[in-house]
Chain A
Amino acid sequence: MTKKDALFQYCLRLGDDAVVLGHRLAELCSRGPFLEEDLALTNIALDLTGQAQLFFLYAAELDNKGQSADDLVYRRPERQFYNHLLCEQPNTDFGYTIVRQFLFSAYHCFLLEDLCTSQDEHLADISKKALKESRYHLSHATDWMVRLGQGTKESKQRAQQALDALWMYTGELFEMDDIDLQLLEANVAADLHTIRNMWQQEIAQTLKRAGLQQPEDNFMQTGSRKGVHTEHLGHLLAEMQSLVRAYPEAAW
């Protein structure tokens, strides 16, 4: 694979994480537990959608098939989406929303931090911008982890349940395939093994503060690198792509 093709694929992954998780959070508009939190969650949705746009604009530039950033989002089939399975998991309750955000944002911050020094300048620039936002997302989610863990019996139990359910989607965050290795060699991509260590420390620290139990690393789900997803993604995309697919000739 040429370096350009690998980078294109790498940008798709980064963009897909942001666009899919952003979409999940956007679903929560008018559904927050109180108005301020409703706005905080849709604000994260907005940030992530903006980050996605930057990654897709770059991907579209690297791609020579004349696809726009929007084409990549709205006309790509499910089996060619490469977001992590964690990002597509549904908003089961506020506990799941927060735990999902916490697990992802911790990973995202370390990843973006690393990519700020990527040899690929464009990727580094996007990462710098995104990192500022993602740090805020992490601190927001961390605060809630502690609040839920130390709040009431019910909130603790719900947070723990979400953590137990979502944990199996965290192994995948650190998988590296040929694309990662090729780009890592060129000092373009991040080394996920290093990031994993930092992530584990970050998670352990917060869970301790929150009084929550870190689940065991048993079976870990996998598949997104090959575009194999949970059943949830298809529904998300069906909704997100519905207008563009119903009126393929139209511009909006």
Chain B
Amino acid sequence: MPVDLFTEKIDQNKSIEPRDPMPDDYRYHLIRQISQHAHSEVIGMQPEGNWITRAPSLRSKMILLAKIQDEGGHGLYLYSAAETLGISREEMIEQLQTGKARYSNIFNYPALTWADIGAIGWLVDGAAIVNQVMLQRTSYGPYARAMVRICKEESFHQRQGYEIMAKMAAGTPEQHEMAQDALNRWWAPALMMFGPPDAESLHSKKAFQWKIKRESNDALRQKFIDKTVQQTEVIGLKIPDPGLRFNEETGHYETSPLNWDEFYRVINGNGPCNRQRIEHHKKVHAEGQWVREAAAAYAEKLRTGVLEQ
């Protein structure tokens, strides 16, 4: 395989397209990353979907419905981008359901109050944006282009989530408490969305060489922290970290070490919602089997002329 062509393109910062030669490792790395990203969008519909039927106003219900639809749409773009690498959506779903493919660990945490809908938009979508801005320049063309569309919508979600938090923080004492409680629970998991510290990160080295990844986990995490601490102060909430301090010399906020044991425990299956999320996905997929079969049978009847029009 003319891998030299591939290396040349990478060196020149040209994007790799589906028909270009590419090393198998590159292809597998991308399939793993893009499908994981697609699954995250789709699984993420569950915790937010958990609050659609209890959204407290027509406006907030519509915003949430539209947001979750966007996330499903992101899942679609990303499945399509992964398909250009030679894997089908069915295979990807199979990998998700058998635990071979992962989704973002953040969705193994529960959405317990309406403030969680604010916290998810503000922090989870906020962290996703920091990651994804970098991915708009990732070396694989279809992935980079999907990210450009996705990033625009994610910033909407982030603002809408922040608005919910701001409103609740300024609301009744109970609302304020709910907002602070949601921040307390989502803060550390959101910081862990950037992945383990650079020193421990398994997949990072090659991803840098291939220009799939362009900034380190810790650098991205720091960006997110700096931005979020300030936003938190503005709405009168507190970052749940007694060790938080501003370092005048570096111009960055410093935080306490994160509990990575918890991260690994959750990511390996023992979080509050791991089982629930996958069971939900499997159940719905199984219930939809007859519908997909009907659609396929009907399409086949049209194709073979058994039915008209």
Which of A69, A154, A239 has a CB less than 8 Å from the CB of B53?
A239
Q: How far is the CA of A73 from the CA of B307 in the complex (A)?
A: 45
Which of A27, A35, A70, A94 has a CB less than 8 Å from the CB of B291?
A94
- The 7 A-B residue pairs whose C-beta atoms are closest, nearest first, are A33-B288, A151-B294, A155-B294, A33-B291, A252-B56, A29-B49, A243-B56
Contacts of B61 in A (CB 8 A): 26, 49
What are 24 A-B residue pairs whose CB atoms fall within 8 Å in the complex?
A26-B65, A29-B49, A30-B49, A31-B284, A34-B292, A36-B76, A38-B45, A42-B69, A46-B65, A49-B58, A70-B57, A94-B290, A148-B291, A151-B293, A152-B293, A152-B294, A154-B294, A155-B297, A243-B54, A250-B172, A252-B114, A252-B164, A252-B168, A252-B171
Q: How far is the CA of A36 from the CA of B73 in the complex (A)?
A: 8
Contacts of A169 in B (CB 8 A): none
Determine whether B60 belongs to the interface, using a CB cutoff of 8 Å to chain A: yes
Given contacts A27-B53, A30-B49, list 12 more A-B pairs with CB under 8 A.
A29-B68, A30-B68, A33-B284, A34-B292, A35-B42, A49-B58, A74-B56, A74-B57, A147-B295, A155-B297, A243-B56, A243-B114
> How far does the Cβ of A235 sit from chain B's closest Cβ, in whole Å?
10
Determine whether A50 belongs to the interface, using a CB cutoff of 8 Å to chain B: yes
Contacts A29-B65, A30-B46, A250-B172; is A154 near B290 (CB within 8 Å)?
Answer: yes
Contacts A34-B292, A49-B62, A50-B62; is A39 near B53 (CB within 8 Å)?
Answer: no
- The 0/1 profile, CB within 8 Å of B marked 1, for residues 136-159 of chain A is 000000000011101110110010
**Number of chain A residues close to chain B: CB under 8 A:** 49
Determine whether B298 belongs to the interface, using a CB cutoff of 8 Å to chain A: yes
- The 0/1 profile, CB within 8 Å of A marked 1, for residues 45-77 of chain B is 110010011101111111001101100110110
Contacts of B168 in A (CB 8 A): 252
A64-98 contacts to B (CB < 8 Å) = 69-70, 73-74, 93-94
B29-48 contacts to A (CB < 8 Å) = 42, 45-46
What DSSP secondary structure best describes chain B's contact surface?
Answer: helix
Nearest CB to that of A69 among chain B residues?
B58
Contact check, A35 vs B72: say whether CB atoms are below 8 A apart: yes
B277-299 contacts to A (CB < 8 Å) = 280, 284, 287-295, 297-298
Contacts of A247 in B (CB 8 A): 172, 174-175
**Number of chain B residues close to chain A: CB under 8 A:** 46
Contact check, A26 vs B53: say whether CB atoms are below 8 A apart: yes
Residue ranges of A at the interface with B (Cβ–Cβ < 8 Å): 19, 23, 26-27, 29-39, 42-43, 45-46, 49-50, 52-53, 56, 69-70, 73-74, 93-94, 146-148, 150-152, 154-155, 158, 239-240, 242-244, 247, 249-252
> How far does the Cβ of A32 sit from chain B's closest Cβ, in whole Å?
7
Contacts of A33 in B (CB 8 A): 284, 287-289, 291-292
Residue ranges of B at the interface with A (Cβ–Cβ < 8 Å): 42, 45-46, 49, 52-54, 56-62, 65-66, 68-69, 72-73, 75-76, 79, 114, 164, 167-168, 171-172, 174-175, 280, 284, 287-295, 297-298, 301, 307
> How far does the Cβ of A103 sit from chain B's closest Cβ, in whole Å?
19
Which of B72, B114, B289 has a CB less than 8 Å from the CB of A38?
B72
Contacts A53-B58, A240-B54, A243-B54; is A32 near B295 (CB within 8 Å)?
Answer: no
Contacts of B287 in A (CB 8 A): 31, 33, 93-94
Nearest CB to that of B309 among chain A residues?
A209
> How far does the Cβ of A129 sit from chain B's closest Cβ, in whole Å?
14
Contact check, B290 vs A32: say whether CB atoms are below 8 A apart: no
> How far does the Cβ of B135 sit from chain A's closest Cβ, in whole Å?
21
Which of A42, A70, A249 has a CB less than 8 Å from the CB of B172?
A249
Q: How far is the CA of A30 from the CA of B279 in the complex (A)?
A: 12
Contacts of B75 in A (CB 8 A): 35
